[in-house]
Structures are given as C-alpha cells and as structure tokens.
Amino acid sequence: MVRRSFVMIGAALLSVAMSGAASAGTQSEIGYAPGSLGVSAILSGDYSAAAAKLNSLEGTTKRDPARLINLGNAYAGMGRTYDADRAYRKALKSMPVDLLLADGSVASSHIIAKEALSRLPRTTYALR
C-alpha cells in the first residue's frame, strides 16, 4: 500500500506526450531529457535503477525539485524512509516550481513534496 502511493506521486510528475506515442500510452518527462527523472524505472518498480539515475544528475541539477521528489519516491519504494524524507525536505528548500501533472493540472513542487512527506510511515519508539 505504501509503495503504491509513492508510485502514484511519481506518476503525478509525468505528462503524457502529445504525439502518436501518447495514444500508445507512452509517458515522458516534459522539459527533461528522456529518462532523466527516472519515471519509467519508478513506474516499473525498479526503484534502485531510478535512484541511481537520479543520483547521476544526468539531465537534471542537484537542487531540481522534480528530481528530488522522484528521488524521494525511489527511496520510499526501496523502504529507505529516512533518505526519502531527506529528499522531500530538500525539495521543500528548493525554489518552488510548478509541475505539470499527468492529468493536465499544475501543482507546486512544494505541495507535492509536502503530500509525499505526509505519506511516509512514521515510527515512534518508547523509551524508559
């Protein structure tokens, strides 16, 4: 259940290409080199490949909120909650940008990062 919610957030950063490929269900990262946001890897459940691609900074920058959000999604998919939390918080510290969502709507990267943070499982420990 947790992994599915992060895949949905990853999918939210997609925009369907307006071409013949779009009718075949192809999704692309608008404004980025194909694959640079790790979207295909996230959607296929290959979170480690997505994280490796996103950490390589190919086609993105270190503080790019879209990269950081998808990196958080990849880490969350791998169960690396601490790293996911850090990536989402870095996205919140980046300059907010509007991201085109798969449904054609636009949302602030800060709103998307806050929503992603709220979906991370929180663990509390009892101390004596």
Domain ranges of the chain: 2-119
Q: pLDDT in tens for each of the 128 residues of the chain?
A: 444 444 444 444 543 222 233 333 445 678 888 889 998 999 899 999 999 999 999 999 999 999 999 999 999 999 999 999 999 999 999 999 998 776 778 999 999 999 999 999 987 666 77
Long-range contacts of 85-92, Cβ-Cβ distance < 8 Å, separation of 24 or more: 85/117, 85/120, 88/113, 88/114, 88/116, 88/117, 88/120, 89/113, 89/117, 90/63, 91/65, 92/117
Q: For the whole model, what pTM was predicted?
A: 0.76
Fold of 2-119: 1.25.40
